[in-house]
Structure 1
Amino acid sequence: MSDDGPERQATFGTDGSLETDTTPEATGENDFGERKAENETDGGYSRYAVSSLLQKAVRRSDEEVAAWAAWELARSGYAWNLWDRLTLYVVEDLQAGSEVALTIARYEELATDRWEPDEWRGRLCAVHAALAAARARSTREAANADAYFSAVAEERAAARERGEEPDHDFPAGDLEAGGRFDVALDGHTGEGAKRSRGTRFFKTRGARVGPEGESETSARWQRLAMSLDDDVAYSAAELDHAVAPVDPDDPWTEPAEIDGDDETDGGGGDDGDCGDGDGSKDGDDETAEPDDPNPDGSLTDFSG
């Protein structure tokens, strides 16, 4: 974002409306030869109304209205307001992961750093950015999530004060060992470290990916890296499970045992001597109890 400087510092009026001193580039005459009032665009509109219209048009995918609103703000000396509004759209209304966010940022950079925002090329950047935003997938998912999670937080707090269970809870619930998200409590957490959930647990359970699974190349690399590990001996079943995609209908459940590896009885630890007692690494009969790598419950870093 360009630096608006102290002359563009926003304040709030007594009626709660946002007020900003009109910058020099926004002064002068409107299209009708009349001296522009404060916060008036060249077309005779309130910049607040045009700015709001821009975001609503983008949200509703009305390309023409969005393009005009962007052009009107840019040519009237309110390009900073335009880019502020489009940036707000990126975080408030744009589907997560959309590359349009980068496109809008690039147009802003060109319009404000390379050219003058209200000149011809700056206005073209404004129109391009507005069109890109209007054509993108709009969604209120982030804003809705924020509102929902905030409401649940209040409900949980009120329920605790009443000594009751909340009617609504966070998706993670209590996040306890043995619960639905038990696999998240690996050696990076205190609970996981206490349970000796080291490299073996992480590689075979914690590092698994979504329903699409690893690509063929990535799965091959992972198998090879695990097979060549000098400290942990993985069985064939563990190698298969490590690269298997999670169940799309139940992405959090992990087996208690993988070919004899009981993660609840120390099998998830960082054990380099977990074979069948003779130093072999076939891992088919892992009966040795591994040492606790974190007897004090400190966290373990194994690139997770």
Structure 2
Amino acid sequence: MADGDDRQATFGSDGSLETDTTPDATGENDFGEEKEANETDGGYSRYVVSSLLQKAVRRSDEEVAAWAAWELARSGYAWNLWDRLNLYVVEDLRAGSDAALAIERYEELATERWEPAEWKGRICAIHAALAATRARSTREASNADAYFSAVAEVRAEARERGEEPAHDFPVGDLEPGGTFDAVFDGHTGEGARRDRGTRFFKTHGARVGPEGEDDQSARWQRLAMLLDDETDYSAAELDRAVEPVDPEDPWGEPATGARGDTGNTGDDDTDSTDENGPDRTGSLTDFSE
């Protein structure tokens, strides 16, 4: 597929748009007239049709989106079509949608296996436009980018004045002992200095949720910890390791009373047996059943 950046529009001295027209986009329009630069076969501006495509997808207008994709593809502007649909993927599509993979596959078929302007290429264009239109549209990524960028400026200006910012990033200062203490494990310099090794990672950093581990995964996790020759885990620590996070407080810690709550998370000689749970060897049967 040709790079759309090679065809960026510029403005002439009279304010008119000037850009190179690809060979595929030349020829006559539907009325038998020689097409002007950036004109589609139907006599429309490809800039307008391209913008229409994304707006129609964003508004879930299937018929208009399908037509706009077809018009661009048949008119020799397939590169513009696929650039616009890929822009939609990152600008307007909800993260994690399967539509992103479908659009990528349709583009591959239309541009690498078949000719974009021919029947199969046009069908792929329509399929991709419909897949995008039927997916859930959201401006979440664009809105997040704009918000975080604005906060960055507010923080910088506040620091220059020697003041606390009126708005801050959601992580604040991101320091050990704070809300996000779990991230300072042995994978970070601060965590390594605090001797936060395997014990801390298993019981703090590796927790998932809020759905938590399923029964099989939780069983494997417990058994792997029990069979660890280098670290002895208490029953409370085994519980903590598989405790799902609270959806209302994903960075909070469960009140299990496990060792490591006070930050002394290095391996120690404390016996792994306590009154609330079985010892290391006795637990194997319990978790293997």
Give the aligned partner of residue 234 of structure 2.
Answer: 235
What SS does the corresponding residue of 1:264 show, helix, strand or coil?
Answer: coil
Give the aligned partner of residue 289 of structure 1.
Answer: none
Give the aligned partner of residue 8 of structure 2.
Answer: 10
Q: How does 1:209-220 map to 2 (within 5 A)?
A: 209-220=208-219
Give the aligned partner of residue 246 of structure 1.
Answer: 245
> Residues of 2 paired with 1:17 and 1:156: CA distance?
41
Give the aligned partner of residue 107 of structure 1.
Answer: 106
> Residues of 2 paired with 1:5 and 1:146: CA distance?
24
Q: TM-score, normalised by structure 2?
A: 0.89
Q: How does 1:118-157 map to 2 (within 5 A)?
A: 118-157=117-156
Give the aligned partner of residue 224 of structure 2.
Answer: 225
CA contact (8 A) 2:76 2:117 kept: yes
Give the aligned partner of residue 274 of structure 1.
Answer: 269
Q: Counterpart of 1:274 in structure 2: which amino acid?
A: D
Q: 1:238 to 1:119 in 2, by over 3 A?
A: same
Give the aligned partner of residue 264 of structure 1.
Answer: 262
Q: 1:114 to 1:265 in 2, by over 3 A?
A: closer
Q: Structure 1, residues 80-114: CA drift from partner, whole Å, max 9, x if none? A: 00000000000000000001100000000000011
> Residues of 2 paired with 1:244 and 1:14: CA distance?
64
CA contact (8 A) 1:93 1:138 kept: yes
> Residues of 2 paired with 1:157 and 1:63: CA distance?
44
Give the aligned partner of residue 301 of structure 1.
Answer: none
Q: Counterpart of 1:34 in structure 2: which amino acid?
A: E
> Residues of 1 paired with 2:38 and 2:142: CA distance?
28
> Residues of 1 paired with 2:229 and 2:87: CA distance?
50
CA contact (8 A) 1:10 1:18 kept: no
CA contact (8 A) 1:26 1:76 kept: yes
> Residues of 1 paired with 2:2 and 2:81: CA distance?
14
Q: How far off is 1:251 after superposition?
A: 1.2
Q: Structure 1, residues 212-262: CA drift from partner, whole Å, max 9, x if none? A: 111111111101111100000011111111101011111112268734x14
Q: Structure 1, residues 123-157: CA drift from partner, whole Å, max 9, x if none? A: 00000000000000000000000000000000000
1:86 aligns with 2:81: no
Q: Counterpart of 2:81 in structure 1: which amino acid?
A: L
> Residues of 1 paired with 2:39 and 2:9: CA distance?
17
> Residues of 2 paired with 1:17 and 1:183: CA distance?
57
Q: Structure 1, residues 141-180: CA drift from partner, whole Å, max 9, x if none? A: 0000000000000000001111111110000000011111
CA contact (8 A) 1:57 1:65 kept: yes
Give the aligned partner of residue 69 of structure 1.
Answer: 68
> Residues of 2 paired with 1:18 and 1:283: CA distance?
78
Q: Counterpart of 2:167 in structure 1: which amino acid?
A: H
What SS does the corresponding residue of 1:258 show, helix, strand or coil?
Answer: coil
Q: Counterpart of 1:10 in structure 2: which amino acid?
A: Q
CA contact (8 A) 1:274 1:283 kept: no
Instruction: Name segments (4+ residues, structure 1) moved above 4 Å.
Output: 14-19
Give the aligned partner of residue 174 of structure 1.
Answer: 173
What root-mean-square deviation, in Å, do the aligned CA atoms of Structure 1 and Structure 2 show? Answer: 2.0
Q: Counterpart of 2:206 in structure 1: which amino acid?
A: A
Q: Structure 1, residues 178-234: CA drift from partner, whole Å, max 9, x if none? A: 111111111111221121111101101111011111111111110111110000001
> Residues of 1 paired with 2:16 and 2:260: CA distance?
62
> Residues of 2 paired with 1:212 and 1:5: CA distance?
42
1:197 aligns with 2:196: yes
Give the aligned partner of residue 20 of structure 2.
Answer: 21
Give the aligned partner of residue 50 of structure 1.
Answer: 49
Q: 1:191 to 1:256 in 2, by over 3 A?
A: farther
1:117 aligns with 2:116: yes
| Percent pairwise identity | 76
> Residues of 2 paired with 1:5 and 1:129: CA distance?
18
> Residues of 2 paired with 1:265 and 1:84: CA distance?
50
Q: 1:117 to 1:231 in 2, by over 3 A?
A: same
CA contact (8 A) 1:256 1:263 kept: no
Q: 1:174 to 1:18 in 2, by over 3 A?
A: farther
Show structure 1 runs of 5+ residues with no match: 277-281, 286-304
What SS does the corresponding residue of 2:262 show, helix, strand or coil?
Answer: helix
